[in-house]
Structure 1
Amino acid sequence: MNITQAESRIMDALWTRQPLTVDEIMAEVAEAQGWGEATVKTLINRLLKRKAIRSDRIDGRARYAPIIQRADYVQAESQSLLNRLFDGQLTPLVAHFAQHRALSTDEIKQLKTLIEGLEHDG
């Protein structure tokens, strides 16, 4: 599922706390983003059309909740990035980041621990 960066702000609010009304979504994201109500409603409608969120009537008000789980979205986006930029291979991705930004001692330690865990599980 292709969710834009702007739409992901709405999704983040819903993944954190749900269900939310338009006013509650506005309070969560609009001020920080400089968005008006029309922008938030447009983003909500796009997400509804893509079936990323659902609308339920509760106490006479529309409240929105995610249909897509955050973990599923992150997995799909991560795989899409790997496929697009690194031919689906994880090693070139890690090498790219290691070569283009300094890894902290803690990050290196975490990577080693991850690899050791994978070696023991595999």
Structure 2
Amino acid sequence: MGNLPKISDAEWEVMKVIWGLGEATSSEVIESLKGKKLWKKATIKSLISRLLNKEVISFKKFGKEYFYFPLISEEECIKEESECFLRKVFNGSVNEMLVNFIKSDNLTKEDINELKNILDEIKF
């Protein structure tokens, strides 16, 4: 890891659509983001171009239509972003991050039980 291109927050929104559909035309991406984002069509097309330039997506052309598809899986990107966040905010310490989140007031009893179950399932 560590060699994936940096994807901006706006580009993430486009990628979520493409990952969700498997492949998508620019019209499908625009339609999916309608109501969620106040972006113009040109903005979304620019984001698609940026993703193409970063080689995060590619395309197949059928007739006049371009079908965009991911070259990098959502799981790879999530892992890379998680590791980057962990390094930047918690100096790479998973323990520090978990303690910080666990001490927050936002955890429900269900969240705590789920965390306990996950920790119990980890084999050392």
TM-score of the pair, normalised by structure 2: 0.91
In structure 2, distance between residues paired with 1:40 and 1:14: 12
Q: Percent same amino acid at aligned positions?
A: 25
Q: Which of residues 8, 15, 31 is equivalent to 1:4?
A: 8
Check conservation: 1:55, 1:65, Cα contact below 8 A: yes
What's the CA shift for 1:60? 3.0
Backbone CA RMSD of aligned residues: 1.2
In the other structure, the counterpart of 1:34 is 38
In the other structure, the counterpart of 1:88 is 92
Number of aligned positions between the proteins: 120
Q: Which of residues 84, 97, 102 is equivalent to 1:98?
A: 102
Deviations along 1:62-113, whole A, 9 cap, x unmatched?
1101111000000000001111111111111111112233311111111111
In the other structure, the counterpart of 1:16 is 20
TM-score of the pair, normalised by structure 1: 0.92
In the other structure, the counterpart of 1:46 is 50
In structure 1, distance between residues paired with 2:26 and 2:92: 38
4+ residue runs over 3 A deviation: none
What's the CA shift for 1:55? 1.4
In structure 1, distance between residues paired with 2:75 and 2:22: 16
In structure 2, distance between residues paired with 1:81 and 1:16: 24
In structure 1, distance between residues paired with 2:108 and 2:23: 39
More helix by share: 1
In structure 2, distance between residues paired with 1:53 and 1:31: 24
What's the CA shift for 1:48? 0.4
In structure 2, distance between residues paired with 1:67 and 1:31: 27
